[in-house]
Chains A and B, each alone.
Chain A
Amino acid sequence: MQRRWLNLDSRLFVFVFIMALLRSTGGRTGRLLVLALLFVGCLESVSSFGQSLDTEFTFLLPAGTSGCFYQTATKNGTMEVEYQVIAGAGMDVDFTILTPEGIQIVTESRRSDGVHVVEPTEAGDYEICFDNSFSRFSEKTVFFEIIIEGQGGDVGGDDEWAGLDEPDGSLLEYKLDDIRESMDSLHRRLERSRQMQTVLRAFEARDRNLLEDNLWRVSFWSCASVLVLLCVALTQVFTVRKLFDDRRRVCT
C-alpha cells in the first residue's frame, strides 16, 4: 500500500486543515484561535485563487471624460489587457496603464483596439485608463478584458490535487493521475476557448454597431439627397421664369 504524504506546501491543505480544526474544536477561545488561523489561511488561498482571474467588462465612456479601472496584481506572473472600442463615431480611444507608483508603462493614443501583456515588477494596484477627452460629442462603448496568470502559466488544479488522500492500490493511482491530467488540460483549454469567445463576441458587437450606423446613414442621406434634388429643380425653373417675367425688355 502506497500512501502519499500530504503536500505541506499546498495552500489547500492549510485551508482544509483549518476547516477540520474548526469542526473539531470546542470552547470559545479555541474557536477564536482557529478563526485567526482561518484568516491567515484565507490570505494564502486568496493569492492562489486570485491568480486565475479573468475579468471582462463593457462600459460606456461619455464624451470628454476618462474612466479608470484598477487591478491588484502580485509580483510574479503576467497580466494581459485587451481592449476594443465597440461603438462610437471614430471608434478610437486613448489608453494608458500606470503602475502603483504612477509611472506610465503603456500609452496609446486614438487606437480602436489593442492587446498588452504586462509583467508586474511590483505588487499593487495597476491603473488602466481610457480617455475620451479628445471627442466632444460622441460617447464610446469600450470592451476590455484582464487576464491574470500565475507563475507557472495557467493555474489549473495543480495545487488542488496535491492535497488529496490517495486510495489503496497503485493501479487506481495511475488511473487517478490520468484523470487528473486530462481534467487539468481540459480545464485550461476550455478557459482559453471562453476567452477567445469573449473577444470574438466583442468584434461582432463592434461590426454590428457599425452596420446599424451605416444603415441609418444610408437612409438619411438618401432622403436628404432627394429633397435637395427636388428643391434645386424647382428653384431652377422658378429662376429661369423670373428672368423672363419681370423685365419686359425682351426682344422678339
Chain B
Amino acid sequence: MGFRGVGVLLQCYLMLAAAMFFDLGEQEGKCIIEEIPEDTLVTGYFLLEPWDMKSVTSSPHLGVTVTVRDPNHEVLMTKRYGKFGKLTFTAHASGQHYLCFQSNSTRFSVFAREKLKLHLDVQMGEHTIGHSTAKTKDNMALLESSLRHLLEQMMYIIRQQEYQREKEEVFRQISEETNSKVLWWAVVQTSILLSVGFCQMKRLKDFFIAKKLV
C-alpha cells in the first residue's frame, strides 16, 4: 500500500472519529435497524477503539463480527473485520434489515469487562459522500463530481418516496382489514348472542314443561 493509500485511510479514520459512536461490551452484540428499499447498495464505515484510550497498555487485537439479517430474519451476510473496515451489501428485499455488531476481540482477559467504542456511519445508495474521494484541482472534474453527487441525492430521495408509497399501500390494506374484521366479529357476536339466547329459553321452557312446573 503506497503512501497515498495510507493517507486516504488516515483520513477515513479521522473522519469516522468525528462520527457518532456507542459502547460495545466485550462479547456483547448490538443491533441497528435500517429500513431499506429493495436493490439498494448499503455501505457502512466503522471503527473500533478501546473505551479508555489512556488505560490500555498493550494493544489488544480488536475485531468485530458483522451479521446482516433481512426482513425475514435470514442471514444475508456474516463477516469478520478488524478494528477498521467498510462493509457493503445489497438489500434484495425491501423492509427492515438488522445490522448486528459483535465484538470478538482477543487478549482482553487482563481487563475484565472492558468496553469498546464503535464509531459507525451507514450510508445508502451508490456514489455516497465518499470518505475517500480524491479532491482534484481540476475545475470541471469537481463540478462534474458535485453534479453527480446531487443526482445521486435526488435518485435516493425518489427511491425512498417510491418505497414510502408501497408501504403506504400495505398500511392501507392492513387498515381495511382491521376495519372489516371489527365489523365481522361484531356481527358474529351479536348473532351468537341472539341464537344462544333463543336456545337457552327454548331448552329451559322444555325442561320446565317436562318437570310439570309450567
Please report A residues at the B interface, Cβ cutoff 8 Å. Answer: 12, 15-16, 19-20, 22, 31, 34-35, 38-39, 42-43, 45-47, 49-50, 53, 55, 57-60, 67-72, 125, 141, 146, 157, 160, 163-165, 167, 176, 179, 183, 186-187, 190-191, 193-194, 197, 200-201, 204-205, 207-208, 211-212, 214-215, 218-219, 222, 225-226, 229-230, 233, 236-237, 240-241, 244, 250, 252
Contacts and interface: CB of A to CB of B under 8 A. Distances in A.
A81 to B, nearest CB: 11
Nearest to B201: A237
Q: Is the interface of B mostly helix, strand, loop or mixed?
A: helix
B33 A141 contact: yes
Contact of B171 (A12, A45, A208, A233): A208
Q: Identify the 3 closest CB pairs spanning chains A and B, nearest first.
A: A50-B18, A222-B185, A58-B33
A77 to B, nearest CB: 12
Interface string B10-48: 110011011111110000001111110000000000000
B32 A58 contact: yes
A123 B197 CA distance: 74
Given A211-B174, A241-B207, A225 B181 contact: no
B7 A46 contact: no
Contact of B3 (A15, A35, A50): A35
B214 to A, nearest CB: 11
A47 B18 contact: yes
A39 B10 contact: yes
A70 B10 contact: no
Interface of B: 3-4, 6-7, 10-11, 14-15, 17-23, 30-35, 96, 117, 121-122, 134-137, 139, 142-143, 146-147, 149-150, 153-154, 156-157, 160-161, 164, 167-168, 170-171, 174-175, 177-178, 181-182, 185, 188-189, 192-193, 196-197, 199-200, 203-204, 207-208, 211-213
Contacts of A193: 157
Given A19-B7, A69-B22, A225-B185, 13 more contacts: A35-B7, A42-B10, A43-B14, A57-B20, A70-B22, A197-B157, A201-B35, A211-B178, A226-B188, A226-B192, A229-B193, A233-B200, A252-B213
A147 to B, nearest CB: 11
9 contacts: A19-B7, A22-B4, A57-B122, A72-B17, A125-B21, A160-B146, A197-B157, A215-B181, A229-B189
Contacts of A42: 7, 10-11, 14
A105 to B, nearest CB: 18
Contacts of A236: 200
A45 B157 CA distance: 28
Contacts of A230: 192, 196
A238 B199 CA distance: 13
Contacts of A16: 135-137
A15 B10 CA distance: 13
Contacts of A43: 14
Contacts of B122: 57
B42 to A, nearest CB: 13
